[in-house]
Amino acid sequence: MAGVNSPSAPVVARAPGRVNLIGEHTDYNGGLCLPFAIGLATIAAVRPRGDDQLRVTSREAVPGDPHWQEYVVGVLAELRRIGWEVPGLDIDLVSTLPLGGGLASSAALECAVATAIAGLLGVPLDGAGRRLLAEACRRAETEHVGAPTGGMDQLAAMLGSDGHALLIDFADPDSPVTAPVSFPVAEDGLVLLVTDTRVRHVLADGDGGYAQRRREYARGHPRRRRHVVTENARVRDAVDAIGARAWARLGALMTASHASLRDDYEVSVPQLDQVVDTGLEAGALGARMTGGGFGGCALTLVAADRAGVVREAVDAAYAERGWAPPRHHLVEPGPGAEVLRGIG
């Protein structure tokens, strides 16, 4: 606890957002997913206070969002529940992630705060420590905010590593098994393009679609079940394709995943379908929605020298329909959460 009473510099930590390469709506259904951490991230600066109060600011907080501070309150509560002596804190947040855009800004926020607190308390961030934090952050979101989430996002933020995707098996949801998967896509002249449709899921589904899909799956809805069964097979095939550097095969699996999410799980929206269809017509190897759906982002695998053509085609298709322009980000697999500046 050395340094906790020093009023000086804050402890600063960064936690990344994630893109899920394949394996959607499987984390809470005992299945497989394959996310990777990205460069877009949230940074938390944390300073102990002299009292037991919590004060938190966010440069990106949306006026009128009543819930955002609950994510932070939840993380503190969960860390105290596992026995950490978390003092009163001043916390300041900045983020380059879209909020509610399907790139897991909520997990990045939670994990940035938790990682900074670990740095403040001198808790080492080894593999076990990272898993513990991922679980505390997942619980913060499900138990305190009340958002039913499966745990993929927090594991990706805490266990992501440079140049790797993270295979997660939720067969035992209380103890998911993870393995890094080398993902050298850039070495073979390909890029991963994330396109933010600008449709926000909270608006698109009234925040109820995700919970409804969970219930439908639990009740044995045949098409929802078929999606999860076929999606798990696609994740296994994707790991094999990556190992063989069979990028066209990986692209085809991504596109098949999108069709299943659109037709069987029914979580796509016209903007996501448009980005996928246009990208494929413009020569992408594969494309799919990524994240929970009802808006958010699409992921396109494309040769580096075709990426500009894909972007322009998507922008043109959007303009034709009178939709607000999408935002594009090139992403690559990057490191998980880290303390940027420690105590003293």
**Positions marked active-site:** 153
Helix (H, G, I), strand (E, B) or coil at 207: coil
Closest separation in Å from C-beta 60 to ligand ADP:
4
Shortest distance, position 1 Cβ to ligand ADP, whole Å: 28
Closer Cβ to Mg ion, 19 or 310, answer by number: 19
Q: How far is the CB of 202 from Mg ion (least distance, A)?
A: 11
Instruction: Give the integer Cα–Cα distance in Å for 265 and 278.
Output: 21
Per rule CB under 5 A, is residue 232 in the interface with Mg ion?
A: no
Check residue 20 for interaction with Mg ion (CB under 5 A). Answer: no
- Of the pair 149, 255, the CB lying nearest Mg ion is at 149
| Residue 101 binding target from Mg ion, ligand ADP, none, CB below 5 to 8 Å by type | ligand ADP
Residue 29 contact partner, candidates ligand ADP, Mg ion, none, CB within 5 to 8 A by sort of partner = none
Q: Work out the burial of residue 183: count CB atoms within 10 Å of its CB; fewer than 13 is exposed, 13-18 middle, 19 or more buried.
A: buried
The one-letter code for the residue type at 102 is G
Consecutive H or E run containing 120: helix 105-121
Interacting span for Mg ion (CB under 5 A) from 70-78, 104-112, 304-312, 327-335: 104-112
- Interface region with Mg ion, contact rule CB under 5 A, candidates 62-70, 106-114, 128-136, 181-189: 106-114
Q: Does 106 bind Mg ion (CB under 5 A)?
A: yes
Residues engaged in binding ligand ADP (CB under 6 A): 42, 58, 60-61, 65, 67-68, 71, 93, 95, 99-106, 109, 147, 291
Specify whether the CB–CB gap between 34 and 167 falls below 8 A: yes
Edge to edge, the sheet with strand 164-169 lists 32-33, 164-169, 177-182
Query: Phi/psi zone of residue 295: left (φ > 0), alpha (ψ -120 to 50 degrees), beta?
Result: left
| CA end-to-end span of the chain | 12
- Judged by beta carbon, residue 138 or residue 262, the one nearer ligand ADP is 138
Least spacing, CB of residue 149 vs ligand ADP, in Å:
7
Measured between alpha carbons, how far is residue 141 from residues 73, 78, 131, 180, 199 in Å? 10, 10, 16, 25, 22
Closer CB to ligand ADP, residue 183 or residue 210? 210
Q: How far is the CB of 105 from ligand ADP (least distance, A)?
A: 3
Do the Cβ atoms of 44 and 92 come closer than 8 Å? Answer: yes
| The CA-based dihedral angle spanning residues 41, 315, 209, 222, taken in that order and rounded to the nearest 10 degrees | -110
What's the chain's Rg over C-alpha atoms?
20
Could you give the CA distance from residue 75 to residue 136 in angstroms, rounded to a whole number? 7
| Pair 95, 15: CB distance under 8 Å | no
Nearer to ligand ADP, 34 or 40 (CB): 40
Nearest approach, Cβ of 91 to ligand ADP (angstroms)?
11
Closest CB to ligand ADP among residues 61, 73: 61
Residues engaged in binding Mg ion (CB under 5 A): 106
